[in-house]
Structure 1
Amino acid sequence: MLHGYGASLLEGSLLTLAVAFASLAIAMLLGLLGAIAKLSRVRPLRWLAQTYTTLIRGVPDLVMMLTVFYGGQVLVNHIGDRLGWGYVDIDPFVAGVLTIGFIFGAYITEVLRGAFLAVPAGQREAALAFGMTPWQVLWRVVGPQMLRHALPGLSNNWLVMVKSTAIVSVIGLSDLMNRAGQAAGATREPFMFYLAAGGMYLLFTSVSEWGFAMLQRKLAIGVRQVAV
């Protein structure tokens, strides 16, 4: 059915997932740092975090990807020439992961910030009054509630991130979209292969939605649900 390109699409799918998970790790780290900065009383940190989120909202993902890959290549080699290095070739996987992680770190910043503000301040104060350390308060009181509040936003961002990994194909990474494009060009049957790629993305997002729904139900144990 796929003219022998099934294995190639599967390899591209695995690379797509690798990009997505590595990008998620970076995005979560940047999101946590960004949320802390936005909630900080230090004005320069708040200004820096606000600039970061504003920049990401205003620049298209594709423009950011091309700027990091090609612009970064020029910048790194310009610096390398001055330091006497040889030619440095930026790996497309590294460029793709860093760019997608940087982009979604801004969105996760807002998700985590909102989740922190959703936890009543009185609970943190009560936990401290009972003699808990700040770390214990975060781990036992604030953290679990933050996760419950943040989970819908994290779920949405993850689903969008999985689909956004398709832009790494423009910088030559052999992900699912790149492999589908190669197969479509070789067989002149673009509908078949792009439909197959779309089906793989749908599978990824469907499994992810199921997993997040399971986690949401687990975190909701003992929480009173308001009838709508």
Structure 2
Amino acid sequence: MASQYVRTHVDVSDPTLTALRAMLEVKQEVAPWVTLQIVAFPQEGILSYPNGEALLEEALRLGADVVGAIPHFEFTREYGVESLHKTFALAQKYHRLVDVHCDEIDDEQSRFVETVAALALKLEMGDKVTASHTTAMHSYNGAYTSRLFRLLKLSGINFVANPLVNIHLQGRFDSYPKRRGITRVKEMLEAGINVCFGHDDVFDPWYPLGTANMLQVLHMGLHVCQLMG
């Protein structure tokens, strides 16, 4: 069993875009066997990093398939919201998909997913937009979440939870009880919102134990998200 479709996030913070250029070559090399989709990912932010927006746009010109963003990593909430507006503008300009590292933090005040969904709804881009991680949703209060779910459903955006990496990284600043720190997979599925599982990091400083085996991801997800009953 092997993965025939892969979406990879390539850091475009490097002024030379070396990693992106290399991955574009890899995409061509593996094309007979694997459909490789490349996300131009501004790891250091779009507005909070020198020339971040220009580097992101250059990556799209070179051939990246998807526009990425990381609003919760921007210096301020205002920067985060503006970065999403710029992300959607670039996606429209270059006819690309959108995949946002969104609210991957334990801070219950990180609520950029509402901006992602609102923009997707307004621009009628829902099926082209993915919010990845959204781990902060684990900590949202019930009243806010109830209101949020209506917008998420209307927008038609997609979600990707990453059980292996999310359970490894989140909750590290908690004493006890420790939160699981994974988005509300079960509740979103019950609400008719499209949710998928992803591996995320395979072998890097964020997660050193990956095997790229999606069955391991599914196994962990079924347990952590309590999907068996």
Normalising by structure 1, we get a TM-score of: 0.29
Looking at secondary structure, tell me which structure has more strand per residue. Answer: 2
Higher relative contact order (CA 8 A, sep 6+): 1
Q: Which has the larger radius of gyration?
A: 1
Looking at secondary structure, tell me which structure has more helix per residue. Answer: 1
Normalising by structure 2, we get a TM-score of: 0.29
